[in-house]
Structure 1
Amino acid sequence: MSDEAQGIFDRIESEERELVFPGFDLSDAWTLGTRMRAAAETASLPIVIGITLGDARVFHTALPGSSADNDGWLERKTRVARRYGRSSYGVGQSFRAAGKDFDVDARLDPGLYAAHGGVFPLTIAGVGVVGTVGVSGLPQADDHAFVVAQLRAYLAEL
């Protein structure tokens, strides 16, 4: 693995350890989701935003320039984050770090699962993963970075 790839891999793992909530409920989903939408509107980002708790989608919005294709990507990345309990970008990077191709080596239907950046697990301290928050519409590293920045800002105010 190149030094750059190792740096990305290490940063993602650090983010996954760092971005843990003391609790997260429907009210938090609404607040986080609307904040994310406002930030995306300000930056004119053509994304969809989704938040799940358990199997329920509890927040969803689409901004100008996004499409139904972005909804499909969001759902596929959400399945990865839920299945592996970590960010969709982290899953993809872990496969690449091992010299593997997620679409082949995960033995999951690539029409249903995408290990590309943009969906992050909602983890509660002492409980574990309870849902996901994600976006789709930008290059995968940018999708991931947007979600991480929004989670950091939200957690900083708790």
Structure 2
Amino acid sequence: MSDSPRIAELRQHEDQLVFPAFDHQDAWRLGSLIASRAIEAAYPVAIDIRRHNLVLFRCVLPGATADQEEWIRRKAATTLRFEHSTALLAAEFAAKNFDPTQGGWLAPADYTLAGGSFPVRVRNAGVVAAVTASGLSSDDDHRLVVEAIRRHLGPGSG
């Protein structure tokens, strides 16, 4: 079975958006890029970059609600567990007509397939963190993060 155009696009994001390195300063710069874009557009979002339980960047903008904290926690947990974006996982599971949060595999209180969390994949090291936005639609949260990563990485990042 061939991939849908959407799944192919989401896989391409992950293939292209690979970091040469990623440290606390990179987290600050990337998080600040996302926050600047969100402020400019008046997006009511929360932004989070974390290495498992270590938060490297956090910003909550006007209009974001306390619910965003839970969405971020669950989205980031999904990305860190599977080492893929929540948008890609959602699309792949939907194509298989399977919801891993039903039937006891993934606890819905701990994981979600809502888009908006993206892996920080470092060349020759693997996934070291998750970048997550919450407050818009799943597609818009994903787009906000991907566009910022693309700007952060610069020319040649897809």
Q: Specify the TM-score bucket, using the shorter chain as the normaliser.
A: over 0.9
> SS in structure 2 opposite 1:83?
helix
Amino acid in the other structure paired with 1:108: L
CA change 1:148–1:105 in 2 (3 A) is farther
Question: In 1, distance between residues paired with 2:104 and 2:121?
Answer: 23
Please identify which structure carries the higher helix content: 1
| The 10-residue stretch of structure 1 (26-35 or 101-110) with the greater mean CA deviation from structure 2 | 101-110
Can you give the 5+ residue segments of structure 1 that lack an aligned partner in the other structure? Answer: none
Per-residue CA distance 1:4-60 (angstroms, 9 max, x = gap): x81111100110111000000001111111121111000000000000124311111
> SS in structure 2 opposite 1:79?
helix
CA change 1:131–1:106 in 2 (3 A) is farther
Please give the TM-score of this superposition, normalised by the length of structure 1: 0.93
- Percent identity reads 34
Whether contact under 8 Å (1:48, 1:61) holds in the other structure is yes
Q: Which runs of 4+ in 1 moved over 3 A?
A: none
Whether contact under 8 Å (2:52, 2:77) holds in the other structure is no
Q: CA RMSD in A?
A: 1.9
Query: Deviation at 1:63?
Result: 0.4
CA change 1:81–1:106 in 2 (3 A) is farther
Amino acid in the other structure paired with 1:119: S
Question: In 2, distance between residues paired with 1:54 and 1:104?
Answer: 24
Please give the TM-score of this superposition, normalised by the length of structure 2: 0.93
Can you give the 5+ residue segments of structure 2 that lack an aligned partner in the other structure? Answer: none
Aligned residue pair count: 156
Amino acid in the other structure paired with 2:100: F
Question: 1:78 aligns to what?
Answer: 76
Per-residue CA distance 1:131-155 (angstroms, 9 max, x = gap): 0111000010111011111100110
